[in-house]
Amino acid sequence: MRTLHPFTLLAVAAALPALAWILPAPGGGLATLLVALSLTLTPGASPGPAGTGISRSWRPGLVVFRTALFTAAPFWLFLLLLHDVRTTVAIGLRISTMVASFVWLAAVLAPDRLVEATVARGWSVTAAYLFAATLSAVPVLKARARRIVEAQRCRGLSPRGSVANRFRALRALALPLVLSALHEVDERTLALESRGLVSGARRTSLAPPPDRVVERVVRWGLLLLCLAALVRRLA
C-alpha cells in the first residue's frame, strides 16, 4: 500500500468520505465505512515493529484499525446525545468513514514521498513546503511538548490530580509551546531563504515516486465515480 503513488492514496482517502456523504444513508455510509476499515487492516497500514516502513503481517494493521475505531467512537456519543438513533447511524457512519480514511491515510502516506510527488508534478516549492512542514511539525511539536512537560515536572508542576491541577499543567505547557514556535518563525524564515527556498525556485525532485498508468486510471475512475454518484443523487 505504501508503494502506491501519494496522489492515489490521497484520492482514495478523499473519495471514500465524499461517497459516504453522497450515497444514500445508511447503506452508502456503511459500505464506505467497511471499505475504509478494510483498508486500515491492509498490510503496510502501520509502521511495523521496527518503524522501518512496511509490515508483512496483518497484526500491525490492527493498530490502525483500533485507532480508527477509538477516534470515531466519541463522535457517536455526541451524535446520540443530539439526535435520534436513525440520524445518529446515518451521520455516524459517514463521520466514521472520514475518520477511518484519515487514520489510514496518515498511516500509509509517507510525507517525503508526497513532497517528492508534488515537486515532480511541478507544483510550486512553497505549496510543497506547506504540505511537508505541516506534516513534519507534528513530531517536532510532540517532542518539544514532552521536553516542556519534563521541565515543568522538574519544577514541581504535576500534570496529574484534580481538574484544576491538570488545567494549570496544560496552561504551563501551551504557553511555552506556542511562544517558542512563534519565536522560531523569524530564524526559520532566514534559514529557508538562505537555503534557496524562494518563491519561483525550480526545485529538483530527489526521488520522484513512480506514477503508473493504472494508478492514474484509478484516480480518474474515483473522480468519475464521485461525480456520477452526485449526479444520480441530485437527479
Partner 1 sequence: MTPLALEEVTFWYPATETPALRDVALEVAAGEIVALVGKVGAGASTLLLVAADLAPRVTGGRLAGAVRRRARSGIVLPTPWTQLSGMAFTVWDEVAFGPANLGWPGHEIARHVDHALERLEIVSLAARDPVTLSGGELQRVIVAGLLAMDPDLMLLDEPTAELDPAGARSVWRLLRLLAGEGKAIVVATSELDAVPDVADQVVWLDDGAVRAIGTPQLLAEDAACDDGLGTTVARIWRAAGLAPPYPLTVADAVRRWP
Contact residues toward partner 1 (CB under 8 A) are: 110-112, 115, 125, 128-129, 132-133, 136-137, 139-140, 143, 184, 186-198, 201-206
- Residue 212's nearest CA partner among 6, 15, 53 is 6
Nearest distance from residue 201's CB to partner 1, in Å? Answer: 5
Nearer to partner 1, 168 or 203 (CB): 203
3-class state of residue 2 by DSSP:
coil
Nearer to partner 1, 77 or 130 (CB): 130
Say how far apart CA 97 and CA 106 lie, in whole Å: 14
Nearest distance from residue 5's CB to partner 1, in Å? Answer: 17
Nearer to partner 1, 25 or 110 (CB): 110
Say how far apart CA 115 and CA 204 lie, in whole Å: 11
Burial class (CB in 10 A: 0-12, 13-18, 19+), 7: middle
Nearest distance from residue 138's CB to partner 1, in Å? Answer: 10
- Residue 173's nearest CA partner among 147, 136, 195 is 147
Nearest distance from residue 12's CB to partner 1, in Å? Answer: 22
Nearer to partner 1, 71 or 124 (CB): 124
Nearer to partner 1, 64 or 115 (CB): 115
Nearest distance from residue 112's CB to partner 1, in Å? Answer: 4
